[in-house]
Structure 1
Amino acid sequence: MTRKMASALFVSAVLATPLAQAAEVVLKVAHFWPPAAISQRKVLEPWCEKIKAASSGRMECQLYPSMQLGGTPPQLYQQAADGVADIVWTVPGYTAGRFPSVEVFELPFMAKDAESTSRALWAYYEKFGRKDFAAVHPLAFHVQDPGYIHTNKRQIKNIEDVKGLKIRTPTRVTTKMFTALGATPVSMPMPSLPEALSKGVVDGYILTWESVPSVKLHELTRYHTETDRSQPALYTAVFAMVMNKKRYESLPPDLRKVIDEHSGVEFSASIGRAWDEAGPPARQMAIERGNVLNMLSGAELDAFKKVGEQVSHDWIEEMTAKGHPAQEMYDTARALLRQYGH
């Protein structure tokens, strides 16, 4: 074989070799957590791998953690609605009053665990939330693992111990509850909390176990007050993963089917389960540091629940005055929680 013939055969072989195909659709996925957070490692990355595999490589994600597309966390929902991002993962409560339908799940002593509550939340959205989220195509709604009280100034053994404390509260509803408990609620982004805690700007905070070590709060906290785990927890927060509606509708039917098959109630439940699984290891980190843990139960817990009932009653009155079927919303949420495992 001549050198010329060998060269020609080599070129033919190269041309015949299939080249890696670029994805037909690249989805820009934005969120506010750091890349190492469980939200990206345990949820977004596996989800993106699944839709890539299910689409035979025609659709993939490009992740933008830590607000890399610009803006602030409260602007994420609008970024999805406007097409700045194709998909965002955010907290509806960051824009207080914009999504009244789902706030009912943030009322005190509603959620016992994140997985079953997330199932109930998706079913609830399908009945009451479509109007609030009409500007986007929802992929998942979920809640965090149960939230508790974490303090430095003193241990919380009863309702009187809360009075006078400066407490960082994460939601509009927890702000109302801790005001009613006699504390001074303080609102601030979670990344600002370690400095505020170390300088005594706040005496404590309301947070889920999963979130505590994410900013090393277990190293700055002495006391952790849980509630009886056989009962619904003090609080949780609602999260939403939503897609730009035009982007979703522009996909070929088979790629829309891939999105549909990897969103909805089962995806929502799986996100809740990831939070439930992350809670115990985070709790163990506080134990290993020698922090003091105690649990409210019996009459002490009943006193907190009584305040929570009043907060829920006030929420129903407030939402009813704004024209929402608030009592039906509340009763439906409770019924769905019972149906899905509470």
Structure 2
Amino acid sequence: MKLLRTTLAALCMSSSLAATAATPQPAVVTLKVHHFMPHDSVTQREFLQPWADKISRESAGRIRFHFFPAMQLGGKPSQLVDQVRDGTADIVWALPGYTSGRFPLTSAFELPFMNRSAEASSQAMWDFLQAHGQKEYQGIQLLATHLTDSVLLHTRKQPIRSMADFAGLRLRTANPVQSRLIALFGGQPQAMPINPVPAALARGLLDGAAVPWDVVTSVKLQERVKYHTEMAEGMPKLMHAALVVAMNKARYDSLPDDLRQIIDANSGRALSARAGRLWDTGVVETGRQRARERNNEIHFLAAEEQQRWMDAARSLDGDWVSEVESKGYANGAGLLREACQLVTKYSGQAAR
């Protein structure tokens, strides 16, 4: 009898295991995330990684993320949008402005003195590109759009306190709008990705750089410059770099409905606002602290001088309108007006 009971128990356990084995387990999706900043940068440590972790938890581990920072999948930062479009990466964090002329609508939010708050303008950019950005981001599912903290001016040998101080300075720029502004003020723009900038400063090939505090700390730029010039308190910021979190559209569409819903619930305008808020706050104070630890000097532009800069920079609005219309968009002035209205909507203060 004891033998019979043991045999029956074994048969029941065997049947249970067979049934479990026969039950199909949900497939695990692993998404490759590619970007150009170091693994310990604010971008990955405080923005992308927490976002990915939250999605993984909510999907019960069915969505996983494999990060490739610092261009580990190859290519250049300017190729990231193409890489997500062709499937080299599933998701990228990219700066479209690295590719001159291909993302004119996105560049509206990089115009000088357009923004006061990255949090507000990141939401404005999301709404604007959802309405008008289909052509620029064909084959791509936008997950977030955001601005960095404001670009400011970092120089090796002399502070910039007035427009006259730009004369002859070779300053690194990240996008065509920045290059036009530096040239307009009398400087010599040097367009290049961020990674070669510290070495170029050390070798005397650059006199300074136009970058936000976030980038300063990520590549230790405070060790290569002495002076930092910010805009006047309470006035519009000099300019921002516009970035996107983008996913290959075919890869997104291939996901089961419930997984797409989890990604959607953690993306969009809310994620854009969260990114902007991150760059508005802790990033700036950390950058200033690192500069002060080096005994660097931080200067704030006088309000009267900034107004002169703002008046001179208005000519770039017309350049933007002309460029947008040359790309086949009708009523560039109307598009710029709409972008400004969205900035005003989310910031509570008039753009420009």
TM-score, reference length from structure 1: 0.92
Is the CA contact (8 Å cut-off) linking 1:89 and 1:240 kept in structure 2?
yes
Question: Which amino acid counterpart does residue 274 of structure 2 have in structure 1?
Answer: S
Q: Decide whether aligned partners of structure 1 residues 303 and 146 sit closer, same or farther in structure 2, where only a CA change above 3 A counts.
A: same
Alpha-carbon distance, 1:311 to partner = 1.5
Question: Quick one: which amino acid aligns to residue 81 of structure 2?
Answer: Y
2:204 alignment partner in structure 1: 200
Structure 1 stretch 314-323 or stretch 245-254: which is displaced more?
A: 314-323
Asked whether the equivalents of residues 182 and 188 of structure 2 are also in contact (C-alpha less than 8 Å), the reply is yes
**Equivalent residue for 1:49, pick from 50, 53, 62:** 53
Mean Cα deviation higher: 327-336 or 51-60 = 51-60
Q: Aligned partner of 1:303: which letter?
A: R
In the alignment, which of 269, 293, 306 is matched to residue 288 of structure 1?
293
- Residue pairs, 1:103-142, within 5 angstroms: 103-142=107-146
CA distance in 2, matches of 1:134, 1:319: 17
Post-superposition shift, 1:181? 0.8
Give the match for residue 227 of structure 2.
223
Match of 2:345 in 1: 339
Q: Retained in 1: the 8 A contact 2:94–2:244?
A: yes
Q: Counterpart of 1:228 in 2: which secondary structure?
A: coil
Match of 1:328 among 324, 329, 334: 334
Aligned residue type for 1:199: R
What are the superposed Cα offsets for residues 80-99 of structure 1, whole Å, 9 maximum, x if unpaired?
Answer: 11112111111111211111
SS in 1 for 2:295: coil
In structure 2, stretches of 5+ residues that fail to align are none
Q: Which residue, 44, 62, 65 being the options, matches 2:66?
A: 62
Which residue is 1:310 aligned to? 315
Equivalent pair of 2:105/2:324 in contact (CA under 8 Å): no
Structure 2 CA distance for aligned equivalents of residues 115 and 94 of structure 1: 22
CA contact (8 A) 1:23 1:60 kept: no
CA drift of 1:153 comes to 2.3
The number of residues matched between the two structures is: 336
Question: Which of these residues, 295, 319, 322, is aligned with residue 324 of structure 2?
Answer: 319
1:285 deviation in Å? 1.2
Deviation larger for 187-196 or 264-273: 187-196
2:110, 2:58 → 1: CA distance?
A: 34
Secondary structure at 1:335 match in 2: helix
What's 1:100 paired with? Answer: 104
* Residue of 245, 250, 253 corresponding to 1:249: 253
RMSD over aligned Cα atoms:
2.3
Does the CA contact (< 8 Å) of 1:31 and 1:65 recur in 2?
yes
Letter in 2 for 1:39: T
What does residue 91 of structure 2 align with? Answer: 87
Write the deviation string for residues 87-125 of structure 1: whole angstroms up to 9, x where unpaired.
111111121111111111111001212111111110111
Shift of 1:23: 5.5
Tell which deviates more after alignment, 72-81 or 135-144.
72-81
Moved over 2 A (4+): 12-16, 317-325
Q: Render the CA deviation track for 1:267-312: whole Å, top value 9, x for unaligned.
A: 1111112212211111111122211111113221111112211122
- Alpha carbons 1:27, 1:59 under 8 Å: kept: yes
The residue correspondences of 1:146-185 to structure 2 (distance < 5 A) are: 146-185=150-189
**2:114 pairs with 1:145:** no
- CA shift for structure 1 position 335: 0.6
Match of 2:304, as an amino acid? A
Q: Contact 1:112–1:229 (CA<8 Å) still a contact in 2?
A: no
| Letter of the 1:147 counterpart | V
Within 2, Cα distance between the matches of 1:107 and 1:101?
11
Q: Deviations over 1:45-64 (max 9, x none)?
A: 11111111111221111111
Please give the TM-score of this superposition, normalised by the length of structure 2. Answer: 0.89
- The residue identity in structure 2 corresponding to 1:316 is V
TM-superposition CA deviations, 1:298-334 (whole Å, max 9, x none): 2211111122111222222332344323111111111
Query: In 2, are the aligned partners of 1:35 and 1:66 still within 8 Å (CA)?
Result: yes
Paired amino acid for 2:321: I
Deviations 1:148-194 (A, max 9, x none): 11112211111111111111111100100111111111122211111
Is the 8 Å Cα contact of residues 177 and 307 (structure 1) preserved in structure 2? no
The residue type paired with residue 219 of structure 1 is E
Q: Secondary structure at the match of 2:129?
A: helix
- Superposition pairs of residues 230-245 of structure 1, within 5 angstroms: 230-245=234-249
Q: Show the 5 A alignment for 1:19-58.
A: 24-58=28-62
Residue 187 in structure 1 maps to residue 191 in structure 2: yes
State the alpha-carbon separation in 2 of the partners of residues 93 and 85 from structure 1. 19
How far apart, in 1, do the equivalents of 2:69 and 2:326 lie?
39
CA separation in 2, counterparts of 1:258 and 1:308? 43
Deviations 1:211-264 (CA, angstroms, capped at 9, x unpaired): 112111111211111101312211101101111111111111111111111110
